């Protein structure tokens, strides 16, 4: 399979580099971006048109507008059966719309955003969430496995992006909560660096917020479900610890709106709220 890669920024360059052994054509609007990859063995393209012969083309560009621009050039040129994978985080509707346009020409578009950041791209341990047909997923799975250690088929086109947006909602809300926790810790005289070490260590052991994401539905847990007991136990612990943290915040005059919102919605979020 011949692969092409468009967009050689901080993430894209690292992902494309892991495809060099299989042969990859690389392109970026900044010509200098292809230089180091060319030295490592990639084939640099001077224009998007030079990628038209690739069987799989990955796009790691900035936003919806750039994705549309690149697809506008490629769709009239690539052969039927080509798969174009969009790794950029965009609107799910953009991927769906472009996939419909591509299907008329016998081309498949998958939305395949990634998670894991610069560290995952460096180590080749990204997660990639793919929305598209089963056949397109199977064609992508091997090449994507060069730079990702988790390659999942999420469903039809748009599913990958919806997964990424839900994942990042958790990610960035957690960053906001981390800031709240840091303010409380600092007001308490606690070392923020050591607190950070504790958080990273314990999350690596427990799975962090993802530890409760083991159910196939977000609806309330039935009373006879084996998970009901463990989740009620988590509720009891969380209610106690959140109450103590809020009391400490009140004592130190630290504003903790997320903690107050969390305790109010904790039971419902766990699926064990009283009817």
Active centre residues (catalytic): 164
DSSP letters, the chain, are --EEEE--SHHHHHHHHTTGGG-EEEE-SSGGGGHHHHHHTPEE-SSGGGGTT-SEEEE--SSHHHHHHHHHHHTTTSPTT-EEEE-S---HHHHHHHHHHHHTTT-EEEE--EESHHHHHHHT-EEEEEES-HHHHHHHHHHHTTTEEEEEEEESTTHHHHHHHHHHHHHHHHHHHHHHHHHHHHHHT--HHHHHHHHHHHHHHH-GGGGG---S--SPPPTTSTTHHHHHHHHHHHHHHHHHHHHHHHHHT---HHHHHHHHHHHHHHT----
Dihedral of alpha carbons 91, 93, 97, 100, sign: positive
């Amino acid at each position: 399979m011949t692969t092409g890669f468009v967009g050689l920024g901080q993430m894209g360059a690292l992902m494309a580099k892991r495809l060099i052994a299989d042969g990859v054509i690389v392109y970026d609007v900044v010509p200098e971006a292809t230089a180091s990859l060319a030295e490592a063995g990639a084939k640099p393209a001077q224009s998007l048109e030079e990628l038209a012969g690739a069987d799989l083309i990955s796009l790691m560009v900035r936003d919806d507008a750039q994705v549309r621009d690149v697809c506008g050039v490629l769709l009239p040129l690539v052969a039927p059966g080509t798969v174009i994978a969009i790794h950029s985080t965009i609107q799910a509707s953009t991927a769906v719309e472009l996939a419909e346009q591509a299907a008329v020409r016998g081309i498949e578009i998958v939305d395949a955003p990634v998670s894991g950041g610069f560290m995952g791209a460096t180590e080749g341990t990204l997660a990639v969430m793919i929305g598209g047909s089963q056949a397109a997923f199977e064609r992508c799975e091997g090449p994507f496995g060069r730079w990702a250690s988790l390659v999942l088929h999420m469903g039809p086109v748009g599913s990958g992006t919806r997964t990424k947006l839900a994942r990042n909602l958790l990610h960035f809300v957690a960053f906001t909560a981390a800031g709240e926790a840091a303010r409380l810790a600092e007001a308490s005289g606690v070392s923020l660096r050591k607190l950070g070490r504790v958080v990273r260590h314990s999350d690596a052991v427990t799975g962090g917020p993802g530890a409760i994401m083991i159910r196939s539905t977000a609806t309330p847990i039935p009373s006879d479900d084996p998970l009901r007991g463990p989740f009620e136990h988590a509720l009891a612990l969380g209610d106690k610890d959140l109450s103590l943290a809020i009391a400490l915040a009140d004592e130190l005059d630290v504003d903790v709106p997320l903690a107050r919102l969390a305790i109010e919605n904790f039971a419902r979020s766990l699926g064990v709220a009283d009817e």
